[in-house]
Amino acid sequence: MKETKIAAGHLLSVLTILIWGTTFISTKVLLRAFSPVEILVFRFLLGTIALCIACPHRLKVTDRKQEKYFIGAGICGVTLYFLLENIALTYTLASNVGIIISVAPFFTALFAHWFLDGEPLQAPFFIGFFAAIAGICLITFNGSTVLKLNPTGDLLAVLAAVVWALYSVLTRKISQFHYPTIQTTRRVFFYGLLFMIPALFFLDFHPEWEQLLQPVHTLNLLYLGLGASALCFVTWNVAVKVLGAVKTSVYIYLVPVVTVVTSALVLKEPVTWMALIGMGLTLAGLFLSEYRGKGAKKHAGR
């Protein structure tokens, strides 16, 4: 029974990453008509509405002290992460952001070690981390791009990785309250949108509403809102609940791999030998990070 539950957690992690790794196509299409912050607001509004329909019952928090975890998760996982990532892209190269964001599992491991019980730091995780990052660098640069440091944008990308790690740890804490995952995710979305409102006065939020009615925009927003937001945040949170924050976070390494494969299949972009080697290194890093020795397995069998 426990093995089945763990297998389901890994499967949900892979499903989530498969969808998140393909969102760049929808985002590319929508950026022709909307600004990044407009896309962000629309997708999470749709996600919140979908979760309300899926589970209309109000979440009754038994301890008001728990509310701070929902607020923190909303600020970190929705407001700050996506705003920092989008703003970082305006200052630095997308390749820089892609690599920097991929270090989120490293920060997750540190925060989980400090703030969570039962998630100790282990050597295979760090070996896998460096292997995966090396692979991601090969995938991203693909032999044709030179790394160009842009301090402002790169720092914002690092902060985005940090706040996603905090979100993962907060999600793990929330899962220990034993509330239904759909309701907890909806509450996180609510706080994420609430704290996003002040940013709308400073960022480019002037949507052309008639653009929403165009089928290509409607379908892509539905994919981001219902799939990448409502469905994926629920499946990710369930995976964190089952596997823990650290073991779930390493699946982030797969995002560039999924992106390369999707680009080849959908956009007909060529896949080079360097990209293939990078994909192999990234997958090896994932498996190494997930590996636990006999001693660790005994410790984990609580």
Could you tell me how far CA 25 lies from the centroid of its own chain?
16
**Residue 17 · residue 252 · CB < 8 Å:** yes
CB 48 within 8 A of CB 189: yes
- Could you tell me the two tokens for 148? 């160009």
Average pLDDT, the chain: 87
Helix (H) or strand (E) holding 86: helix 81-91
**What does the alpha-carbon distance between residue 85 and residue 104 come to, in Å, rounded to a whole number?**
12
Give per-residue pLDDT as tens, 12-60: 999 999 999 888 788 888 888 998 889 999 999 999 999 999 999 999 9
**What does the alpha-carbon distance between residue 256 and residue 277 come to, in Å, rounded to a whole number?**
13
Give the percent of the chain with pLDDT over 90.
48
Pick from 226, 208, 210: nearest CA to 44:
226
HEC string for 219-264 = HHHHHHHHHHHHHHHHHHHHHHHHHCHHHHHHHHHHHHHHHHHHHH
This prediction has a pTM of 0.86
pLDDT in tens, 56-80: 999 999 898 999 999 999 999 999 9
Cα(223)–Cα(203) distance, integer angstroms: 24
Q: Report the pLDDT value the prediction gives residue 144, as an integer from 0 to 100.
A: 52
Residue 86 token pair: 């989008």
Residue type, 238: V
Which of 252, 240, 89 has the alpha carbon at shortest distance from 173?
240
pLDDT band at 297 (very low <50, low <70, confident <90, very high): very low
Kindly report, residue by residue over 192-232, the tens digit of the pLDDT. Answer: 999 999 989 888 888 888 898 899 999 999 999 999 999 99
CB 43 within 8 Å of CB 217: no
pLDDT at 184 > cutoff 70: yes
6: tokens are: 């763990």
Residue 261's pLDDT band (boundaries 50, 70, 90)? confident
Token duo for residue 215: 């089928």
DSSP type of residue 120: -
**What pLDDT was estimated at residue 287?**
86
pLDDT tens digits, one per residue of 1-19: 788 999 999 999 999 999 9
